């Protein structure tokens, strides 16, 4: 394993994040583009895992929603980088930053084809909400604080 760096994304990283998502979509044969608007399309924060010579091998985004519910998006990790705890580092970064900014809960939507991602989120304390239909993404929620 080469060295890596988890850092805030820079504008030049967005093409690498998009390419990573496309590769994962091909890997899991996901037809939907559920993550596209989460990549550089709206205000928020985005972190990347940079490996070797600037290659983007992971990403995780966070954006503010309504009523204290924030959304994690663009959670991606290249296959050869899974199993080293980098996904956990990215999610923990999102949780920390959301809490610092007053979020009450975090939501994540995951295409059903990415069942491993759902299992990963459950291990981190997220709870699955029932999806509206069989073709809809799975929805996960992590409560960070109780509203007053």
* Cβ pair 67, 97 in contact under 8 A: no
Give pLDDT tens digits for 82-92: 999 999 999 99
Give pLDDT tens digits for 34-64: 444 444 444 579 999 999 888 999 999 999 9
| Residue ranges of domains in the chain, CATH in brackets | 4-143 (3.40.630.30)
Give pLDDT tens digits for 67-80: 999 999 989 999 99
Q: What is the pTM of this model?
A: 0.85
Q: Report the 10 Å Cβ neighbour count for 131.
A: 14
Exposure on the CB side of residue 136, measured as CA atoms within 13 A:
10
* Strands laid side by side in the 138-143 sheet: 4-8, 45-51, 55-63, 69-77, 105-110, 138-143, 127-129
Question: Tokens 């983007």 label which residue?
Answer: 56
Q: Report the 10 Å Cβ neighbour count for 120.
A: 20
Rounded mean pLDDT of the chain?
Answer: 86
Is the predicted pLDDT of residue 33 greater than 50, yes or no?
yes
């Amino acid at each position: 394993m080469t060295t890596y760096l988890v850092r805030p994304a820079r504008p030049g990283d967005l093409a690498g994040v998009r390419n990573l998502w496309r590769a994962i979509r091909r890997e899991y044969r996901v037809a939907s583009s559920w993550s596209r608007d989460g990549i550089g399309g709206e205000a928020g924060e985005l972190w990347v895992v940079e490996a070797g010579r600037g290659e983007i091998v992971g990403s995780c985004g966070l954006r503010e929603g309504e009523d204290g519910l924030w959304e994690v998006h663009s959670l991606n990790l290249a296959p050869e980088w899974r199993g080293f705890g980098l996904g956990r580092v990215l999610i923990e970064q999102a949780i920390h930053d959301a809490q610092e900014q007053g979020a009450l809960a975090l939501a994540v939507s995951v295409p059903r084809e990415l069942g491993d991602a759902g299992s990963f989120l459950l291990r981190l304390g997220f709870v699955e909400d029932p999806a509206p239909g069989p073709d809809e993404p799975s929805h996960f929620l992590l409560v960070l604080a109780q509203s007053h």
